[in-house]
Every structure is written in C-alpha cells, then in structure tokens.
Structure 1
Amino acid sequence: MRDQLRRQRGLRNMSQEEFGKRANYSGSTVSAVETGTRLLDMPYARRTDDLLDSGGLFESLLRSAQEDGEPTWLKPWPEAERDARQLRFFEPILIPGLFQTENYARAVLRLDDTLSESEVEQQLATRMGRQEILTRERPPQIIGVIDESALRLREAIMGEQLAHLLRMAELPYVHIHVVPLSAGLHIGLSGPLMLAMLADGAWVGYLDHQIDGLPVGVEEHVARLLARWEGVRSAALPEGLSLALIKEIESQHRPQ
C-alpha cells in the first residue's frame, strides 16, 4: 500500500512537502507513512483519496488490511525491523522475540488462552519468520539488554532457551547485556522497548503492552525512548560479564 501511495503521489508530480501541505501534514509525516515508520490510519487514507481523487482506493486498501488478520498497528514495526541497520531493545520479563526458540515462543503464546491452537501456530510462524534477519547476508547490528529475572524462570524450556541465547551471542553482530538483580530499581522496569535505526539514520521505536503494540515515530518520543534505552544499558553488566552470568544460569538447567 505504501508503494501505491508513493506512486500515485509521484504521478501527480507532488513532492512529500507539497502533498503534506495540501493534506495538513508535515513533509516528515508523509515520509514516515510512506516508509512504514508511522501508522497509516483511516483519516490519512481518506485525505489521500480526496487529494489524489483516487475513488476511495486507499480507504479500501486499508480496510482490507484491517480484515486480513494482521493488526494494522503491527504492520509498520516489522518493516522497520527488516530494514534496520541497527536494532536495540530491552526486555524486563521475557527473552526477546528475535532470540526465542520455537518451544519458548509457543509456550509464551499459549499463555493467552483466548487464542486457538491454529492461531498460536500462525503467530508462532510469524515470530520465527522475523528471525530471518539474523541470517541474511547483511544483518543489522543488534544490541539487546535483558533483565536477569527473565533468565531465571524455573521452566523446563529454559535450559534449551538459554543455550540458544548463548549461541546467538556468538554472532559477531549480536551483543547481549544483562541487568543484574543487584541493580535494583531502574528505568527499564517501566516496560519493554524496541528501537530501529533505518538506512537514512532515522530512529523509530515500538512499545509492547497487554492489548497490542504502539509504533513510535514522533521525534521527541523517539528521543525519550533512546534516553531510556541508554539508561537500562548503563545499568547492565558489560558483555563479557553478562555472558558469564547467562552461562552460570544455563548450567543450573543441565542434568545433574
């Protein structure tokens, strides 16, 4: 749909700035929508149809997207994640999705008892598919910060999961840090966050919560997320000590 937006605007010889001015949006907002780092919502689609005289094309496309089973709020982040040159994230409770094993991810998804088994498997396939960026020809640099409490779940799946996490840490472009329990209260306990730096150097963010997720593209909000991420990273152990701690916890899951 975003390719269509760019194409139709271009056919009318309108720059992003000109289109934004006519639609009462900033040029940067138009750019963010067209690159997938800002949510394409219904008011934007309708205003585009009016300006481009497209006969309701974009409203229709957006309605179809809303009905295809993938929440519209989720669409921008996977695109940003796939296009990222750098990824930074913090998780206070769970192993980050990019580093989850299939068994761990399935167990997490099954915690939502409103999902049918087929829906769990569908979401599992999507989550595992995201991990393809780890093995592509030019993967992004990834810096992940995980709270120690996420590593210490007393579940049977944790041995396999921690061993997998250590294998991920062997990749030269993956850097994992752990915030130790001894750090006490820190800014990251407010919740998980994800950040992606795109090819043009712009950062976009994403926040998870109980009902859905929220893409973050407003510059001042992204700046706050970057500051919070730096806060949790400063509370974390250096990479070597972090991996030593993960190895120690993983060893506790091995057969005695």
Structure 2
Amino acid sequence: MSNLPARLKGLRAERGVTQDQVAESVQVSKSLIAAFETSRLAPQQDTAATLDAFFETGDEIQKLSTEARKNRKPGPSWFRPWRNVEETAVILRYFQATLIPGLLQTEAYARAVFASTGLHSDDEVANRVAQRMERQAAILDREDRPAFVFIIDAAALRCGPPEISKDQLLHLADTGARSNIFIHVVPDSAGLHAGRSGSFTLAILEDGGTVGLLDDFYEDRVIAEPTRVTDLERTWHAIAAVALPCDQSRDLILRLVNDYDDPAAELAQVQP
C-alpha cells in the first residue's frame, strides 16, 4: 500500500501549512487535498508534479501517486471504459437537460447535487465531489486539447440554490471562453424538443468511431451498437438545431448572472 497520504500530511506539517494553503498554492480545491491525504484519491501526474514543486521533493510525490493509482479500488464497472473514452476522444459532445454538466460544475454546485439525493453520507458526498474535481482536471486540461461541445437546456441554468447559482453561471461563462470549449443553450422558446427525453454524451474517437453514454438513474450506460449511436447522433442534431450560438448563449448566461443582482427580476421570464 502506498504511503502517499501519510507523506503528504507529514510534508504539510513540516511546512506548517494548512490544506487550504496547499490547495491555493497548487491551484486545486481543498476537498481534493483532503481526498489525497485520506487515500480516497491519488493525484494525477500533473497535480503530483505541482505538489512536488511546492514541497521541493523532486519526483517523490509523482512516484507515490503512480503507485497509489495502481493500487486504487476500481470505480463502477460501467464507468471504467467510459473514463478511457473521455481521456482519449478527439471530440466530446454533452447534452444536459436538467443540470449543469459534471465537467462544468463548480465544487459548491457539485456538492449540492450529490447532497440533494439524500442517498449519500457527508463523507460519500465529499468523496464524490473530490472525484468529480479530479475528473474535470484530467479531462478538460488534457494536453492534446480535444474539442468539447456542451448543449444545456435553459431550465438547467436556473436549477440550483441562489447562493451557488451565480458563481456557477460565471464559471460557465469563463469556461466557455476557452478556445476548445463551446457552450450552447437551448432557450425556453424552443418549447418541446428532442432533448426533453434525457441527457447523453457522444464521443468521437481517434479512429473516427463514435461511442455514446446515456444517463440513467442508477448507472449510466455506454452505447456502442451502431444503430443506437446513430439514434443519439440524430437526436444531437435535432437539439443543436434549436440551440443558440455560443455568443448568444453566453449573453443569456450573463443576463441570468445579472438577474441575481436584481431581486426584482423574473428569472423564469428571461428569453434570449
């Protein structure tokens, strides 16, 4: 078993710094540092290298992290092949009908989502949030820069406690400014559309093939059968046809942000 957690806690004690201070210095969340120190997660290679630089430990943490990842308990069986898809696909397309996509969620929003089910203990919620933040870093910050296309139903933009929704919307606007990330919103005026039936993802692989992931209550389902993938492709194009362009989507997101500063605004009436 890797002694990474003990080593990280020992290094932090030697430096006399808190988890918050380490998190700020290496530009990750405090919950992620806590997950590293309790063996719930192991740092990805780039994060481990940043920790080595902060603690001036050469490549020690990188080696311990590699060992820890090898010894980690595997995730759900359905997710393992999809994680590999996300880490290698050249184009990833996500449609979300009810929530902000997981890869675009802030830590506070993700915590609220997991806590809202009532199915998880506080420790389980913290663990899931840490895993989500780690996944974001691993997928969105890939060195080979795949293209990401997100289509979000406007209703999802208004789903969340006011105290976290404004920051979440600002995060969307900031993330959408990246050159390889495209965020589109389906406006309320679209009415009934093909995406009302549920959320899904499509990934184009290096060999040109396409794989889908279909959201489900208990576990998401990887879709590889050509006929079903074609159905998802058709649905994607039907949704894209009623979605706003990126610039208009950003304008709508920022108008919703502004409405949080105006208590008299009627959020439900916002139209593009």
TM-score, with structure 2 as normaliser:
0.67
2:96 maps to 91
Q: Identity across aligned pairs (percent)?
A: 40
Deviation >3 Å, runs of 4+: none
Greater relative contact order: 1 or 2 (C-alpha under 8 angstroms, separation 6 or more)? 1
The amino acid of 2:144's aligned partner reads R
The residue matched to 1:232 in structure 2 has which SS?
helix
> How much has 1:113 moved relative to structure 2?
1.5
> How much has 1:204 moved relative to structure 2?
0.5
2:223 maps to 216
CA RMSD of aligned residues (A): 1.6
**1:17-36 to 2 correspondence within 5 Å?**
none
Determine which of 186, 197, 204 is the counterpart of 2:204: 197
CA distance in 1, matches of 2:142, 2:81: 20
Structure 1 102/233 Cα, relative in aligned 2: closer, same or farther at 3 Å?
same
> How much has 1:77 moved relative to structure 2?
1.1
Determine which of 107, 120, 124 is the counterpart of 2:125: 120
> How much has 1:140 moved relative to structure 2?
1.1
> How much has 1:115 moved relative to structure 2?
1.1
Structure 1 249/211 Cα, relative in aligned 2: closer, same or farther at 3 Å?
same
Determine which of 128, 142, 151 is the counterpart of 2:157: 151
TM-score, with structure 1 as normaliser:
0.71
CA-to-aligned-CA distance 1:110-140 (integer Å, 9 cap, x gap): 1121211111111111111111222232221
CA distance in 1, matches of 2:76, 2:192: 33
Runs of 5+ unmatched residues, structure 2: 1-72, 264-272
Give yes or no for contact 1:146–1:177 (8 Å, CA) kept in 2: yes
How many pairs align?
Answer: 190
1:106 aligns with 2:111: yes
1:249 aligns with 2:243: no
Runs of 5+ unmatched residues, structure 1: 1-67
Give yes or no for contact 1:148–1:181 (8 Å, CA) kept in 2: yes
2:76 maps to 71
The residue matched to 1:252 in structure 2 has which SS?
helix
> How much has 1:153 moved relative to structure 2?
2.6
1:142 aligns with 2:148: yes
**1:158-237 to 2 correspondence within 5 Å?**
158-237=165-244
